[in-house]
Amino acid sequence: MATMTYLQAISEGLKEEMRRDERVFIIGQDVGVYGGAFKVTDGMQKEFGEWRVIDAPLSETAIVGACTGAALGGMRPVAEMQFADFVSCAWDHLTTVSAKQYYRMGTPIPMTVRLPCGGGFSGGPFHSQMYDGYFAGCPGLKLVMPATPEDAKGMMIEAIRDPNPVLFFEHKHLYRRIKGEVPEGVYTVPFGKARVAREGADVTIVAWSAMVHVATEAAEQLAGEGIDVEVLDMRTIAPLDFEAIAKSVTKTSKAIVLYEDTKTGGFGGEISARIAEELFETLDAPVRRVATADCPIPFSPVLEKEVLPQTADVVEAVRALSAY
């Protein structure tokens, strides 16, 4: 085991799989000489060469298109979007071609698209979005949302090996703020298997990515008030481990879905609907959502905190649900 940041763990996952499999290559803007916008690929071009760590032109459509073609040809490409927001430029190719290729032709598309996502660092409306809700309803795509360094490394390796297009959401706010023990060498973390980040008996909080840490902070604070909160880290939302949600909600009878996408249209709404539809008889209170306000992410740090879900927002929601 080694102590790593979230960023280092992702980098290690990439390097481990590139050393193991020569078909793996990285392509993106400034990933080579510069080492990536956040330095995830720092030093990799020197180790693997410029044909396996490729500096691409400023065209996300070209990057995703090249990866789709390379995957069809038997390679295992990893594309980096400098910011998740920019993948919108490649929306048509990713959702119309890459996601549907296996359904149409039976040919796998083993490609990974890395998406540095989320707010919390005053990046403004073009560099802070959480795009999971946009893609969660697109059949053919897998959405990976790691919250810990250990999961980040293992799920990166799993993503590269997966025969489907995988969107790997890396929360920028976690890159250098979160550290943890990470196994050395090659290992994988399977998709579709949620993790109980904190056990509890009174209220379930369903979360993913950076919101897992917000939920845990709230749970620790509420423990002092005698409220025992269970935090469920979904890890992936496509595939979704609804069995884990059902097990936890059946135990606590109360559920909050915490997510960073906008409250309206975010994937947390789908989870809330399924809980209400399939677990209604186990509930002692309505399902509640805590999410980002329905507006662009402000540049101002003060306004950004007002828009994004904060620990205090979760604490307030849990208190209200407990008193229901």
Catalytic residue among 127, 171, 173, 213: 127
State which H helix or E strand residue 80 sits in.
strand 76-80
Token reading at 282: 């186990």
**What does DSSP say about strands 76-80 and 24-28: parallel, antiparallel, or unpaired?**
parallel
C-alpha span between 176 and 7 (Å, rounded): 6
C-alpha span between 140 and 42 (Å, rounded): 31
Where b means 16+ CB within 10 Å and e means fewer, 117-145 reads bbbbebbeeebbbbbbbbbbebebbbbbb
Residue bearing tokens 């890459």: 98
CA 155-157-163 angle, to 5 degrees, is 95
> Do residues 88 and 81 touch, judged by C-beta distance below 8 A?
no
Which of 315, 250, 6 lies closest to 148 in space, CA to CA? 6
Q: Any catalytic annotation for residue 93?
A: no
Helix axes 267-278, 242-252, angle to 10 degrees: 60
* Bridge partners of residue 25, in order along the sequence: 77
Exposed/middle/buried for residue 57 (C-beta within 10 Å: 0-12, 13-18, 19+) = exposed
Active site amino acids: 127
